Amino acid sequence: MSPRRQAPLAIEHALLGFVRGQPLHAYAVYQQFAAPEALGLVWPLKLSHFYALVAKLAQVGYLATTLEPQGARPPRKLLRVTEAGAAAFARWLTTPVENPAQLRLDFLARLYFAERAGPSAIRALLAAQRTASRAWRDDLRAQLLQRADQPDAGLFLQLRVRQLESFLNWLDRTLAAPHAATAVTYSIAVAANSPQPELAAAFVDYVRSPLGQAALLNAGFYTADESPCASAALLAPSPAERTARTVSVFAAASLTGPFQAISADFCAAHPGVAVRFTFGGSQGLAELLRQGAVADVFAAAHQQAMDLAIESGRVWRESVYAFASNQLAVVTPRHNPAHLTRLDDLARPGLKLAFGSEATAIGQYTRELLTQVEGRGFFGAQGKAAVLHNVVRYGESVTEVLASVTRGEVDAGIVFASDGRQADDAVYVPIALPFLN
């Protein structure tokens, strides 16, 4: 059979990978393949099977043999990869696994060689596999929706969807470029018992799309490093979207501005669909979910809130995506009447401050920050206790903290940097506060 007509190979391509660098004796190739630090633990391969695969590769024109003289002893055969074999290996290394049933073995083999080829090869493979895996996941979701009215039906499909979501989450995190640590990470997920999971997933994908990320960036957030669903904004409404018109989204109060902008664009791209928001403190929203409140999507500003939703069974851990990050900022009324310029000014006696309550993400982040700052000695002998003594208002959301500042009820408050930017005409931001590492 011509190499051009040869069906896609899997383990055979892995064998080519060990020979392509330089000619090798067949048994030396087998030893490299079977080593535990290579593919031995992925593909247990008997020596007889190995030689059969070598013969197959030679038959299709991917391997050739040359004779190595050994003096008085019979010459030994050296294997080398042909041009056709090298081209086939290169295609295999940069294309995704096409059959979900072969994902575990075949993808691990490709990843093994991609790591040795360098970062560009790794990213090309992961990006291609993510596209293919999303298509598999979406197809399984569609099959699951068709069986939604059957008691206890679709458990097998549910498990496969969750497995793929876990794999996709790993791909997303691996593809994301490393970046400097920031104070706040936002995460989003489809509610596990959403009445309309396909429509909810479309909204999550839109938030993570380039258009959604642009809205977050415009609102003062730091966006995700990878935009894994570049075409999400252009997808036509599915049949499920035409019958289920409203997406219920529970979202952190600090997301109000960008999510309303995202909602307008999402609804324009999905005619007939509406988005109903419940904004509030992340912890309070997670508690509502735990108590049984109906929602399709949950977007939290603190991992503890998302963990509560996961522990109560309202969110699948495998379906959680980080989609934006933020920092903290000290904000004052527009003209900064207390003349705050440094972090230790917050410990000044007689100052009036507004913080988020312990039940809010902004409150938890604020306390974590104060603890870090206290450890650096910024607040003097009194420590963060001197700062907390100045707090006269604990808001139940970042919106309430910001309102106390804009109304002039306090000298300063700590909010998310994005909130300070969105309220630029009403407040002043004298200090931006990334976490200290």
Q: Is 30 exposed, middle or buried (0-12, 13-18, 19+ CB in 10 A)?
A: buried
Max distance between CA atoms of the chain, in angstroms, equals 98
Measure the CA–CA gap between 210 and 264, rounded to whole angstroms: 15
Q: Which H helix or E strand runs over 267? A: helix 256-269
Predicted pLDDT at 119: 64
Residue pLDDT, tens place only, 9-46: 467 777 787 777 667 777 787 777 777 767 766 777 78
- Where is pLDDT greater, at 103 or 402? 402
Predicted pLDDT at 241: 43
Tokens (6 digits) for 116: 């040795």
Among candidates 78, 20, 15, 81, which has minimal Cα distance to 50? 15
Pairing of strands 184-190, 321-326: antiparallel
DSSP string, 286-305: HHHHHTT---SEEEESSHHH
Predicted pLDDT at 176: 57
Location of structure tokens 């974590």: 368
Pairing of strands 297-300, 246-252: parallel
Rounded to 5°, the CA angle 398-404-410 comes to 125
Measure the CA–CA gap between 202 and 295, rounded to whole angstroms: 14
What the chain holds in terms of domains, given with CATH numbers, is 3-104 (1.10.10.10), 179-326 (3.40.190.10), 328-433 (3.40.190.10)
Q: How many residues does the chain have?
A: 437
Q: Are 7 and 91 in contact (CB under 8 A)?
A: no
Predicted pLDDT at 150: 67
Q: What is the three-class DSSP state of 331?
A: strand
DSSP string, 144-157: HHHTTTSTTTTHHH
Categorise residue 154: left if φ over 0, alpha if ψ from -120 to 50, beta otherwise. left
Predicted pLDDT at 331: 92
- Where is pLDDT greater, at 178 or 277? 277
Helices (H), 22-118: 26-34, 47-59, 83-94, 108-117
Query: What is the side-by-side order of every strand in the sheet holding 297-300?
Result: 222-223, 321-326, 184-190, 297-300, 246-252, 274-280
Query: What is the side-by-side order of every strand in the sheet holding 73-81?
Result: 24-25, 73-81, 63-70
Highest mean pLDDT among 333-347, 386-400, 409-423: 386-400
Predicted pLDDT at 240: 45
- Where is pLDDT greater, at 298 or 150? 298
Q: Are 297 and 188 in contact (CB under 8 A)?
A: yes
Q: Are 353 and 387 in contact (CB under 8 A)?
A: yes
Tokens (6 digits) for 334: 């527009």
Q: What is the three-class DSSP state of 409?
A: coil
Residue pLDDT, tens place only, 254-311: 899 999 999 999 999 888 899 999 999 899 999 999 999 999 999 999 888 999 999 9
